[in-house]
Amino acid sequence: EINISEQIQSLLHKYYWLINENELSLTYSLEDITVKGNPDLLYTVWENLLTNAIKYNEPGGSIEIKAEKTNNQLAIEFTDSGVGIKSNEQSQIFDRFYRGDSARTRTNQGTGLGLSIVKEVIELHEGNIYIYSQLEKGTTFKIIFPRL
C-alpha cells in the first residue's frame, strides 16, 4: 500500500523553493489515501502534474492540491491558475510528444511525454484521469481511483 498523501508531501518539500521562486502560492488539503501499486511510477505522476502546474503558470498565480476519499472512490486534484488549455487541444495533451501552443511559444523546455506517462501509469493502477481547463483561467487534473 502506497500512501499517496505522504508522496505528495515529500514532493511539495522538494519543489517548495521552485514554487516560491516562481511567485506562486500553494494550498493543499490531503486526506490519507493509499493505493496498491508501484511507488516510483506513482511518484512520477504527481511530479509531472506539479511541474506542469508550475511551468504553465504566471507569477502571482496559485496551485491547489487535494486528496480526498468518498464512499467509493479516491480523488486527487491538481489545480492551477495558469495559462489553461484550449478546448481543441485538450484531447491531444495525453498524446506522446504533444506540446501545446502555449508550451511551444514559451521558453520552458519539455518533451511532451509527461502527461502520456501520467495517463498510462494511472490506468495501470486502475484509475482514470480527467482534465478541466479554461484558456487563461487555469487547469484542473483530476485522478480517480476506485476504492477497493
> Would you tell me which residues interact with Mg ion (CB under 5 A)?
52, 114
Selected from 100, 119, 143, 145, the binder of ligand ATP by CB under 6 A is: 100
Q: Does 93 bind ligand ATP (CB under 6 A)?
A: yes
CB 56 → ligand ATP: shortest distance, Å? Answer: 3
Q: From the list Mg ion, ligand ATP, none, which binds 102 (C-beta under 5 to 8 Å, kind-based)? A: ligand ATP
Instruction: Please give the C-alpha separations between residue 123 and each of 40, 45, 71, 148, in angstroms, as whole numbers.
Output: 15, 11, 21, 15
Integer Cα distance of 74 and 126 in angstroms: 11
Among residues 71, 69, 87, the alpha carbon closest in space to that of 137 is found at 87
Which among 101, 99, 94, 145 is positioned nearest to 117, based on CA atoms? 94
Contact residues for ligand ATP, defined by CB under 6 A = 48, 52-53, 56, 80, 82-85, 93, 98-100, 102-103, 110-116, 139
